Amino acid sequence: MAKKRSMDTIQKKDAKASFIVGLGASAGGLEALQQFFQQMPANSGLSFVVIQHLSPDYKSLMADILGKYTEMDVRQAENEMAVEPNTVYLIPPKKNLTLKNGKLMLTEYIHGTLNHPIDVFFASLAEEKGGKAIAVVLSGTGSDGTSGIKTVKEHGGLVIVQSPGTAKFDGMPRSVINTGLADFILSPDEIVDEILNFSNYPDLIRFEDHEVFLSDEETFSQIYAILKKASGIDFTNYKRTTVMRRIERRMVITHRVSLSDYVKMLGENLEEGNILAKEILIGVTNFFRDAAFFEKLKYHVIYDIVERADINEPIRVWSAGCSTGEEAYSIAILFREVLEEMNIQRDVKIFATDVDAKAIEQAGKGVFTESILEDVSGERLAKYFTKKNDQYVISKEIRRMIIFAPHNMLSDPPFGKLDLISCRNVMIYFQPVLQKSLFSIFHSALKSGGYLFLGKSETAGEYSSVFKPVCGAEKIYLHKGEGKVDEFTPPSFNIPNVNTISPRIASSVDREGAEYAFENTYIHFMENFLPASVILNEANNVIHFFGNYQDYMSIAPGKATFNFFSMINEDLSLVASTALNRCRSEKIAVTYTGITVDCVNGRENINLTVSPIYGKNKADTGLIAILFMKDEKIEMEGVTEKYDVDKTSARRIADLEQELHESQNDLKSTIGELETVNEELQAANEELLTANEELQSSNEELQSVNEELYTVNTEYQQKLDELTMLTNDLSNFLSSTMIGILFVDSNLNIRKFTEYVGREFQLMDHDVGRSLQIFAHSFPAEDIIKDAGEVLKNLVPIDREVTGMNGRFYTLRIAPYRTTENNIRGLVITIIDSLGAQK
């Protein structure tokens, strides 16, 4: 473990030049953060930004909690807050956090959508700080942070991951580890030492030292020789500044303070050579990287290629420098979409190559983490991927379109007759001499009218006579086969076991065309003249037929299948199964002679041979050849036995018993795994219990709020009871007097009346709301409606004696109805029996 360095020099650094540490954490991350800040000095000169997954409705207490473990100032981030050294910043709930011009920028995220706040911040951190960015991924579930660390790595930053063994939840750490881009996998307290070492290291190498290093031909020649021995790649013409930056990073990580010390270690440690080579190649890629570029590629290139393609010839595409395959799969998806949208069928072959054999092996699996959700739309994800556990597997229809192979584009022969070459973000690492060679290779490999697709920092503008811009901003070029460039010389390549053909005699295009035609002729010959035989893959599906195989195999009725055992003659099923199992287990060819088979033309005696197919350098391809021979005399290495049904049956039974035993062991293993999963579920259940306790606490808070609402409701109910009592008292008071009262609104519609006045106007209860104008009254000499209008107009009450139809005298009063706010809301019409009042 590295010792902590003195902080004196770091403290003097300008804040803008200081390192920024981004810490991504989710479930179980609190404990890791506590351990980290407990070990981190308060005067390191570093700035820390903690990105957590927070509930949008939860008021975070993280500032108070972490404040107990560090003397640094712990703040919740605010929009446009300047980043200062020796300070910890926390992401607030319901926000995404980015870094721009030394300030923290907050943006709302849409609740309910996929959101990876750690990836968002890491990407901005890499863009802002470059080699001074430090990304740390701590405990958590899912894959947040995986995409972000790729950007950090690409910009020369440091990537550190908490070791899964120390993390409460290892989903996020393992997702990053699987990319192969992590510089360190450490416990939280060990992470502190490496961060301090990384941040302090640049003070040990001065600018003048870089100049000396860059001009030291002898040292670099030694490094290049070691790298070529370790990886097989010649880095001589790679940009020296790029190589130097990668070497310096490895010096920091391996704690070497001098270049000579590092070169010595490099020569003694082959694994370090492989790591440095991988660092220089830095195979970082994503699906649909620069999405707008791929959209242009689809509508301006792929549509054109498909429309012009001959139905009898395959469309040929080369994805050069494909790394882990995302670019090749992206192009395949675009071709599949175009074919479906145009409703036509075409054979598309995509050759995806890279010098990194491990990257090619990973690409061939077609398995990706959840981090692709940021780059692949939901529609494409559902259509072209299958989710298995926490991973996404590319569909078979897309995988079949691509051939992955290790390939050095500068020394190995290129592919020919190509419709499209995609070589993105590769040439930026090459010196001009290599770039020129590469354009020469592309010129010879592309069809006239083919397309070249480059990265956004690359250009073919220097060779406009050969590569005409189609979409300049998106770096898409049309190849003009008749164009010439004086500097282009046809390259020569290393072809194993074949004498190098002079470029003057045959160009790469001619050679590819000849090889392609020869390949078709060769396959046609074998299909017709070889003995009856088939080729099986690992799933026992037939992938190629040769000769007159129909006597021994036939397509079974029902759902179409190429499974070998669904097609084989019944008389051959047992012996073929036994031979196939023996061939796979012993890795040798197995031949059984004297097998009697009922064929269409009668009974025949044949020999059956099952042989493994090996690739280059005896590599196991997983393919098996099965030959049905009647009169052919073909000597095969391996085991040859006379077919005996009893002996073969006994051997097959023994094999099946062995398979059953292995299956039982697998079942036991699966049961053990299930028990482990059950323990994890129990742990999850404990977490759910904790969450339930938190929910119970929230429920108590809601209960408190409910009690307050209940109190308010009780107060309102009491007020309502008082108003009801007051209304009853008023109604009883009015009905007990000999006074008739009529309330009307401003339109003379009846609002309320007492029983006494109802008799004078012939009103019933259901007349409330009707206009007073339609009712007759007991005072024929009075125009009450006209008087009411005058009072509404002038707001002057009318008070006079009137005579009813019964000859009795009444006091009539019409006055405005005033509210407590002194608003006029209608009239009050009062009728008092003068005689009754006197009595």
Has 26 been annotated as catalytic?
yes
* Residue with token string 């009063």: 813
* Phi, then psi, of 25 in degrees rounded to 5: -145, 155
- Between CA 150 and CA 45 the distance in angstroms is 26
162: tokens are 């908490």
Has 53 been annotated as catalytic?
yes
From the candidates 53, 116, 155, 443, give the one annotated as an active-site residue.
Answer: 53
Q: Sign (positive/negative) of CA torsion 220, 222, 228, 230? A: negative
**CA angle (430, 433, 438) in 5-degree steps:** 70
Helix (H, G, I), strand (E, B) or coil at 325: coil
Nearest to 767 by CA among 750, 787, 790: 750
From the candidates 119, 144, 354, 551, give the one annotated as an active-site residue.
Answer: 144
Q: By the 8 A CB rule, do 90 and 67 touch?
A: no
CB-based contacts of 58: which residues, under 8 Å, 6+ apart? 93
- Between CA 750 and CA 169 the distance in angstroms is 74
Q: Which residues of 357-385 are buried (b: 16+ CB within 10 A; e: fewer)?
A: eebbebbbebebbbbbbbbbeeebbeebb
Q: Fill in the DSSP letter of residue 77.
A: -
- Between CA 56 and CA 807 the distance in angstroms is 81
Cα 29 to Cα 183, 231, 352, 411, distances in angstroms = 20, 38, 39, 48
- Between CA 528 and CA 524 the distance in angstroms is 6
Q: By the 8 A CB rule, do 798 and 787 touch?
A: yes
Q: By the 8 A CB rule, do 534 and 553 touch?
A: yes
Cα 149 to Cα 424, 538, 626, distances in angstroms = 20, 36, 48
Other CB atoms within 10 A of residue 37 CB: 23
- Between CA 35 and CA 523 the distance in angstroms is 65
* Residue with token string 């950090």: 152
From the candidates 26, 143, 147, 231, give the one annotated as an active-site residue.
Answer: 26
H-run or E-run covering 129: helix 117-129
Query: From the DSSP assignment, how many helices (H) and strands (E) are in the chain?
Result: 26, 31
H-run or E-run covering 598: strand 590-599
- Between CA 811 and CA 800 the distance in angstroms is 6
Strands 446-454 and 476-479: antiparallel
Has 155 been annotated as catalytic?
no
764: tokens are 């019933």
Q: What is the 3-state secondary structure (H, E, C) of 246-273?
A: HHHHHHHHCCCCCHHHHHHHHHHCHHHH
CA-CA-CA-CA torsion for 471, 476, 481, 485, nearest 10 degrees?
Answer: 100
Amino acid at 834: S
Residue 368 β-bridge partners: 392
Strands 402-406 and 348-354: parallel
Catalytic residues: 26, 53, 144
